[in-house]
Structure 1
Amino acid sequence: MENSNIIKLDNHYQISLPQEICQQLSLKPGDELLLDTQGKLLILQAKPKNIVNYLAGLHKDVWQNIDPQKYLTEERNQWSRSNN
């Protein structure tokens, strides 16, 4: 693992992040972090200040060649057929 650091859990199951990591990521006291687990892997990331801006454009490559109006019309037609 590149850029690995070793940290310890204290008696209250808390960790302290190394100062150089906080500076590198522009983290400040009071900033919120998101913690996720995938199996035995812990994923820690800074919580976005504005979730809408953070998610804007997410997966835009998936929708690149799709006409949104045509897509909605097709979806609505399928819903209508499944309800009959």
Structure 2
Amino acid sequence: IEAVTDEEILDAYRDLARYEGIFCEPASAASVAGVRKLAAEGAIDPGATIVCVLTGHGLKDPDTARREMTVPVVEAEPSADGVRRALGW
């Protein structure tokens, strides 16, 4: 077991969303942050297969999701037509 910082967790959280399309809660990203840390320390064999279980959906912590967004929020009316208009379709 390896301790990770909040910043390491948020880095993993952002990268999971950005590169893998996985929207998990920050607590779930802690396992990925730990594996990254161990890999950087050379504690994990480069050929090893590693599994991280991500149990919590990102909407469990919507405040963090909003804070960590790097694109502007687009508001839309709650209808199919409203979404189409917001997307410019």
- Return the TM-score normalized by structure 2: 0.24
**Which protein has the bigger strand share?**
1
Q: Relative contact order (C-alpha < 8 Å, sep 6+): which is higher?
A: 2
Larger radius of gyration, structure 1 or 2? 1
**Which protein has the bigger helix share?**
2
- Return the TM-score normalized by structure 1: 0.25
